[in-house]
Structure 1
Amino acid sequence: MGSLTSLVSRKNATAINFARSHLQSRVSIFFRALSWKFKILAIPDVLDHGKS
């Protein structure tokens, strides 16, 4: 019975670790995309600033 509990605990830990790593990668992708968007928005301002 102890080995079944241990197996279930390992499976739960694996599922939790997978979900956590999946969430971290989604958050990372979101912030990378957000950063890229701000860079694109800032480029025209920098170019206009150099012209005046």
Structure 2
Amino acid sequence: MHTQFIIFMTIVRREMNRIFRIWTQTLIPPVLNQSLYFVIFGGVVGANIAIS
């Protein structure tokens, strides 16, 4: 059990280091993509919604 935990934590640590090393490639594109989605489709759909 202890060995499996060490293996798991090694993989977690390695992946976290990789993500923090290339954070601009892993975090910024999804945020930018979602923001553009809200702006573009929010503007198009929002302009067509009428409140009665």
Question: What is the TM-score of this pair, normalised by structure 1?
Answer: 0.48
TM-score, length of structure 2 as denominator length: 0.48
Structure number with higher relative contact order (C-alpha < 8 Å, ≥ 6 residues apart): 2
Say which structure is richer in helix. 1
The higher radius of gyration belongs to 1
